[in-house]
Amino acid sequence: MKQQDGFTFIEFIIVMTILGVAAVSATPKLIDTKSNAHAATLKGVQAALKVGSQLVYAKSVV
Protein backbone atom coordinates (compact mmCIF):
# COMPACT_ATOMS: atom_id res chain seq x y z
CA MET A 1 0.00 0.00 0.00
CA LYS A 2 1.27 3.45 -0.95
CA GLN A 3 1.93 5.89 1.91
CA GLN A 4 -0.11 9.11 1.68
CA ASP A 5 1.78 12.41 1.66
CA GLY A 6 -0.02 15.64 2.51
CA PHE A 7 -3.75 16.30 2.58
CA THR A 8 -6.46 15.20 0.21
CA PHE A 9 -8.56 17.79 -1.56
CA ILE A 10 -11.58 16.96 0.61
CA GLU A 11 -9.59 17.52 3.82
CA PHE A 12 -8.37 20.83 2.43
CA ILE A 13 -11.93 21.96 1.62
CA ILE A 14 -13.12 20.98 5.11
CA VAL A 15 -10.33 22.94 6.80
CA MET A 16 -10.96 25.99 4.61
CA THR A 17 -14.69 25.84 5.42
CA ILE A 18 -13.98 25.74 9.15
CA LEU A 19 -11.58 28.69 8.86
CA GLY A 20 -14.15 30.60 6.82
CA VAL A 21 -16.86 30.08 9.43
CA ALA A 22 -14.45 31.21 12.17
CA ALA A 23 -13.52 34.32 10.19
CA VAL A 24 -17.15 35.25 9.54
CA SER A 25 -18.02 34.90 13.22
CA ALA A 26 -15.02 37.00 14.36
CA THR A 27 -15.34 39.82 11.81
CA PRO A 28 -18.12 41.86 13.51
CA LYS A 29 -16.17 41.96 16.76
CA LEU A 30 -13.02 43.20 15.00
CA ILE A 31 -14.81 45.87 12.96
CA ASP A 32 -16.10 47.67 16.06
CA THR A 33 -12.73 47.61 17.86
CA LYS A 34 -11.59 51.00 16.56
CA SER A 35 -14.63 52.87 17.81
CA ASN A 36 -14.45 51.09 21.18
CA ALA A 37 -10.79 52.08 21.55
CA HIS A 38 -11.60 55.69 20.66
CA ALA A 39 -14.40 55.83 23.23
CA ALA A 40 -12.17 54.29 25.91
CA THR A 41 -9.45 56.85 25.18
CA LEU A 42 -11.90 59.72 25.54
CA LYS A 43 -13.17 58.32 28.85
CA GLY A 44 -9.58 58.07 30.09
CA VAL A 45 -8.84 61.68 29.17
CA GLN A 46 -12.08 62.78 30.86
CA ALA A 47 -11.14 60.93 34.05
CA ALA A 48 -7.62 62.39 34.02
CA LEU A 49 -8.98 65.93 33.67
CA LYS A 50 -11.46 65.35 36.48
CA VAL A 51 -8.79 64.03 38.85
CA GLY A 52 -6.48 66.88 37.90
CA SER A 53 -9.10 69.50 38.68
CA GLN A 54 -9.88 67.80 42.00
CA LEU A 55 -6.20 67.90 42.94
CA VAL A 56 -5.96 71.59 42.10
CA TYR A 57 -9.06 72.30 44.18
CA ALA A 58 -7.74 70.23 47.12
CA LYS A 59 -4.43 72.09 46.98
CA SER A 60 -6.15 75.47 46.96
CA VAL A 61 -8.29 74.52 49.98
CA VAL A 62 -5.21 73.50 51.96
CA–CA dist 20, 15 (Å, integer): 9
User: Does residue 1 lie within any of the structural domains?
Assistant: no
Residue 2 lies in a domain: no
Query: Rg of the chain's alpha carbons, rounded to an integer?
Result: 27
Instruction: Look at residue 24 and tell me whether its pLDDT is greater than 80.
Output: yes
How do residues 34-59 score in pLDDT, each as one tens digit?
A: 888 899 999 999 999 999 999 999 99
- Whole-prediction pTM value? 0.50
Instruction: Place 1 in a pLDDT band, splitting at 50, 70 and 90.
Output: low
- Mean pLDDT computed over 15-34: 86
Q: Note whether residue 4 is domain-resident.
A: no
Tally of domains within the chain: 1
Domain interval for residue 45: 9-61
